[in-house]
Copies of this chain bind each other. A is one copy, B any other.
Amino acid sequence: MDTVTARPAPAAGSPAPPDASQASSGASPAGVARRATIRDVADAATVSRSTASRALTGRGYVAPAVRDRVRRAATALGYVPDAGARNLRQQVSRSVGVLVSDLRNSFYAELAAGVGQQSRRRGYAMMLSDDNGSPERELEAAEAFVALRVAGVVLTPLSAAVSQYLARHGVAVVEVDRQFCPGTCDAVVVDNRGSAERLTQGLLRLGHRRLALVLDETDWTTGRERSAGFTAAVAAAEGREAAVVGAGWSVEEARAVARELLARPDRPTAVFAANNVLAEGIWRAAEERGLRIPEDLSLVSFDDAAWMSMVRPGVTAVAQDAVALGEAAVAALFDRVEQPGAPARTVTLSSRILERGSTAPPPPA
């Protein structure tokens, strides 16, 4: 008689099997069928909840015949275990958090795609937020991740604050793209300095003497390293002038800055855009002024984008494999979860330079 213990009866007497064919009438027929719990499964199979749990998870012994009976009952009821309840009991998590700057930027979207792919492969769900460059939103998202008890977080950080916050709360953290906590957090980055240096050397070899680097920030490792690579390459050559120009975060801001830069009498003959957004702004400004690429102006970009292979000539760029970056970040995250005490690691991915025709010797003076 234990199986008929009193409990609130479902609206229609007994819970309707969710996959019964009459379910086609919409989201909620009169009364909203309660979701099946393990208790419903146990009752249907006339076993205890303990046995039902053992049968369904496969942990602990249960007689084969009983196991089959329980599984059939679960299927018939459309039973899906509550992940939250399971995690609460087991004190483990099966989800990872991802926090990027802007999902509308293809770089971040691809990064998220890579993280999602690898997470799913390992049986983890992905929680995703973007912060639009706002530190407040970034922290809010981090708090949400802590509340959700994610196993770990992959993020493109805006400062050291959020990584530290997460680490303090016992959440594994991997910084991607840029790095604020070297030595403390794991990170996955590309070879910013080396790639920027090689890209710049290409311009120098063509004979450019007035070069400009347009970038959006120098507080992050991305800006600093790309700038360092550019500067080092220029310094190694002789008699070259190099300007480093700060632009904003949007295409329009970059366009305005480039418009001014390209209007100078001693305008640079080669411009290095520190990312795809800046490259777009510069490209548009050049076109607006009627400057031909590459005859009047050489343009290169750190970070590739779809349009760079469609305009004529295409734009020579450092191609970062953002999907691979996301995948590597997940790998690092799980390594960290398995080895919480291991020293922090920085993984550097190589990147390729795609020569496309947007560079040429400088125009005659």
Residue A363 at the B interface, CB < 8 A? no
Contact indicator B27/A185 (Cβ below 8 Å): yes
Contacts A83-B147, A116-B103 given: A78-B169 contact, CB under 8 Å?
yes
- Each complex incorporates copies of this chain amounting to 2
Contacts A80-B169, A312-B312 known; list 5 others, CB within 8 Å: A23-B164, A23-B168, A82-B149, A103-B112, A126-B129
Residue A143 at the B interface, CB < 8 A? yes
Q: A276 to chain B: closest CB distance in Å?
A: 10
Contact with A170, one of B28, B147, B305, B312 (Cβ below 8 angstroms) = B28
Query: Which residue, of A24, A103, A110, A140, has the highest number of chain B Cβ atoms within 10 A?
Result: A103
Residue A44 at the B interface, CB < 8 A? no
Residue A230 at the B interface, CB < 8 A? no
Within 8 A of B (CB), among A23-65: 23-24, 26-28, 32-33, 35
Contacts of A125 in B (CB 8 A): 127, 129, 144, 148
Contact indicator B27/A167 (Cβ below 8 Å): yes
A sample of 28 inter-chain contacts (CB < 8 A) reads A18-B169, A18-B170, A23-B168, A24-B164, A26-B344, A27-B185, A27-B340, A28-B341, A32-B340, A80-B147, A81-B147, A82-B147, A83-B148, A84-B85, A84-B87, A95-B127, A104-B110, A104-B323, A106-B109, A112-B128, A116-B129, A120-B129, A125-B127, A125-B148, A126-B128, A306-B306, A310-B311, A312-B312
Contact indicator A35/B306 (Cβ below 8 Å): no
Contact with A84, one of B33, B84, B127, B144 (Cβ below 8 angstroms) = B84
Q: Which residue of B lies closest to A86 (CB)?
A: B147
Q: Bound complex: CA of A102 vs CA of B33, how far in Å? A: 33
Q: A300 to chain B: closest CB distance in Å?
A: 17
